[in-house]
Amino acid sequence: MSQEGTTDSDIEAAIRENHPALITYITAGDPSLEETKEYVEALDRGGSDLIELGLPFSEPIAEGPTIQAAINRALDAGTTPEGFFDLVDDLETEAPLLVMTYYNMILQYGSSEASRASESDAEPSNKPDVRPFVERGAEAGLSGIIVPDLPAEEADPLREACDDYGLDLVFIVAPTTEGERLDRIMSQVSGFAYVQARLGTTGARADVSGATHDSLARLSEYDVPKAVGFGVSEGDHAAEIIEAGADGVIVGSALIDLIASSDDPAAALEAKAEELKRGAIRGADDNAVESVGETAATSPSER
């Protein structure tokens, strides 16, 4: 694993080599898988360093109204896990791809595979299994998985499968994550730590929350890549977040809004990615200027 100091994963390399990193999210199948392919390519061209693709689940409890609506459009369009993996098979982006989905989708891919495989058997096993999903994801070229309803305490089976197939399992760190749990989660970071900027659900906001600054200050002693999401929508937010010590910004709802409202979503997405990436770089430059003379602005952790 990465923190042992061996080779970087695709995701870690992407963040390190393109620092500060822009991570973009859209929902696969919104409004169709064909269009998602175009949009992902546009985000890639616009300077995304990692791209998260949402595999839609009917009960997205971590999502605000914007992504909920995108998920509904994707489900109405008939998006399935198999269609999703076919899309990933087809994509040839420079940015590594991650899937963001809810745990039940991962579990059922296994059980439906198992029941398909044993159709003739009288008693197919209906116990869900995470491995077939991870195996198929690795085969399609995914680099990582994010599961908003899977806390570290429940993650052992998926973590083991991800280790076996060489995928990163990205954990979220919330404003409420503290003390011993924070230490434990930070010691298991794989890919990057997804820093949730504020309590609540996903959704574009007009400003960067104070909680973001608090979180980044709290996390500064951990020497792992940190990317901030939940509410980021503009280049200026990206600048502020990177300046506050993040290694990357994660943007989703603001992109979904463009898909839903723009006449030429691909062009709009590419332009938006450029704006966000420029903002992030500006934040990093400001940081570099400030830290001249200071020694070791970010101290490595005790490890």
Q: Which chain residues interact with another protein by CB under 8 A? A: 1, 57-62, 64, 68, 72, 75, 80-81, 102-105, 107-109, 111-112, 115, 126-128, 148-156, 159-160, 163, 171-178, 181, 184-185, 187-188, 196, 199-201
Q: Which is nearer to another protein, 94 or 178 (CB)?
A: 178
Least CB distance from residue 43 to another protein, whole Å?
A: 25
Rounded to a whole number of angstroms, the minimum distance from the CB of residue 155 to another protein is 8
**Which CB, 47 or 128, lies closer to another protein?**
128
**Full strand arrangement of the beta sheet holding 97-100:** 168-170, 144-146, 97-100, 50-54, 21-27, 248-251, 226-229, 193-196, 172-173
Q: How far is the CB of 4 from another protein (least distance, A)?
A: 8
Q: Rounded to the nearest 5°, which phi and psi values hold at 226?
A: -125, 130
> Among residues 11 and 280, whose Cβ is nearest to another protein?
11
Closest approach, Cβ 104 to another protein, in A, equals 5
Taking the least distance from each CB to another protein, the nearer of 24 and 201 is 201
CA–chain centroid gap for 119, Å, is 35
Which residue, 228, 263, 269, 270, is CA-closest to 245? 228
Question: For residues 252 and 36, what is the distance between their CA atoms, to the nearest angstrom?
Answer: 14
Pick 107 or 281: Cβ nearer another protein: 107
* 111, 129 Cβ separation under 8 angstroms: yes
Is 52 part of the annotated catalytic residue set?
yes
For residue 240, the minimal CB distance to another protein (Å) is 22
Query: Kind and range of the H or E element at 214?
Result: helix 210-219
CB neighbours of residue 164 within 10 Å: 12
Residues 63, 234, 243, 270: which is the catalytic one?
63
Structure tokens that stand for 33 in this block = 């898988």
63: annotated active-site residue:
yes
Count CA atoms closer than 13 A to 7's CA, side-chain side: 3
52, 240, 243, 270: which is the annotated catalytic residue? 52
Interstrand relation of 21-27 and 248-251 (parallel, antiparallel or unpaired): parallel
Q: Which residues are catalytic?
A: 52, 63
